Each structure stands twice: as structure tokens, then as C-alpha cells.
Amino acid sequence: MTEHEADERRTFEPRPIAGEAALRRKVAAQLKALHALKSAALRMFDAMLSAVRAERAASSLAEVEDLLGRMLDAFGGHREETAAHERGLRRRLSELGERPSAPREIGMGLAALARGNLGRIGGQNQGANARDAFVFEHLEIASYELLERLAERAGDLATAELARSARVEDAAMADKIARNWDNVLSLMLASEQIPTNRPDQSPVAETPPAPASS
């Protein structure tokens, strides 16, 4: 083998160590992105829950109070799960010698912050809140799916398990929202004093006119 051929072979031979380092850097980058996303989600939940509590306190309609109470239970519980996810991501970054990014550095995180602030300022549209939360949960699920697979390819089983466990909880929350669209719609209508005609209730029938006397 000539010296030129040896140089060419060295040039095109795979470099597994460099490749593994690149995968590890990619895992760290995805962890930072997800941490920023979860930080934004916490701000969105805080704004949403504040709006729900304020509307419930001001409501004089029993149906609205009941529906808002259910919303508080569902989103309040997942807010605590989300806080645990954020802590887990931050801890894993620290274990890898990395520091979290600020939420503003991630475009979708910034969008979530803006959405949360608008919800707090612009009124109590709980239908929009539930819709945005549903969309955001699926964004988180997709991000965790990618992180889990990336971590597995990088041999980072701790990060893969972290992604898997958080994804399961986010998927459960998305399913809970999906099962409650009828309640969300009822809340939207009841808040404006529009008959809800909920599936578990019969619509109020109008009194038929009395027959004309002969």
C-alpha cells in the first residue's frame, strides 16, 4: 500500500469515538430543548390555573363551578407532574455536565409563554386553554419520543428511561383531555349562559301550545 493510499484510507475510515461524542452532544442538546419546553409549560399551566381559579370564584352558576373544579383537579395534578419532569431534566443535564437553556432560547417555548400570558390577560376562554394544553402535550410527547430513541442509540439508558417515564405521564394527560371534550364544550357554553344540552342530559323541551278550542 502506497503512502497516498494509506492517507486516503485513514481519511475515510469511521471514527467511532468521534461519532459517540457527537451523539452525546445531540442528547444534551435535546435535553436542553425539552427542559426549556417544560419550563414554558409550567408558566402556561400557572397562568391557566390562575384564570380558572378566578373564574370559579366569580361564578354564580353551579354547573360552571363544577366544570371548573374538574378542570382544576386535572390540570393542577399534571402541573405537579410537569414540575417533576422539569426537575428530572435539569438533574440529568447536571449529571452530564451541562446547564439548562433559558426558555426564551427555544422558539416553541417562547410561543407557549406568550400563549399563557395572553390567556391570563385576555379573559377566561377555557376552551382555548384546553385546546392549547392538548396541542402542547403532543408536542412534549413527540419530543420525548425522539429523545428516548436518540438516547438509546447513544447508549444513554438513564436518559432514555427518563424520557420514557415522562412521556407516559404526558400521554395520560393528553388522553384525559381527549375524554373530556364534552365537558370543555359544556363549560364554554355554560359560561355564556347558553344551554349546554350535555350528552348525559336531555334537552329542555319547549312547552307545546295548547290545542285550539272548537
Span 57-114, pLDDT tens digits? 888 888 888 888 888 998 999 999 999 999 999 999 999 999 998 655 555 555 555 4
Give per-residue pLDDT as tens, 176-196. Answer: 999 999 888 888 888 888 887
To the nearest whole number, what is the mean pLDDT of the chain? 80
Write down the pTM of the prediction.
0.75
- Cα–Cα distance measured from residue 68 to residue 33, given in angstroms and rounded to the nearest whole number: 32
CATH architecture for residues 22-191: Up-down Bundle (1.20)
Residues 6 or more apart in contact with residue 211 via CB below 8 angstroms: none
- Judged by DSSP in three states, 204 sits in coil
Q: CB of 89 within 8 A of CB of 35?
A: yes
Query: Which run of H or E residues covers position 59?
Result: none
Question: Which residue is it, cell 494509506?
Answer: 6
Cell, residue 177:
383531555
Question: Could you tell me which of 132, 137, 129, 155 has the C-alpha nearest to residue 22?
Answer: 155
More confident residue, 17 or 171: 171
| Half-sphere exposure for 165 (CA within 13 Å, toward CB) | 12
Q: What is the rounded distance in angstroms from the CA atom of residue 174 to the CA atom of residue 105?
A: 26
Structural domain boundaries in the chain: 22-191
Please tell me which residue, 153 or 62, carries the higher pLDDT value.
Answer: 153
pLDDT at 2: 61
- Report the interhelical angle of 62-95 vs 16-58 (nearest 10°): 160
Task: Give pLDDT, residue 11.
Answer: 43
CA distance 90 to 68: 32
One-letter amino acid of 194:
I
Reported as a single tens digit per residue, the pLDDT across 6-45 is 554 444 444 456 678 899 999 999 999 999 999 988 988 8
Q: What is the pLDDT of residue 130?
A: 87
Which long-range CB contacts under 8 A does 145-148 form with residues at least 24 apart? 146/30, 147/27, 147/30, 147/31, 147/34
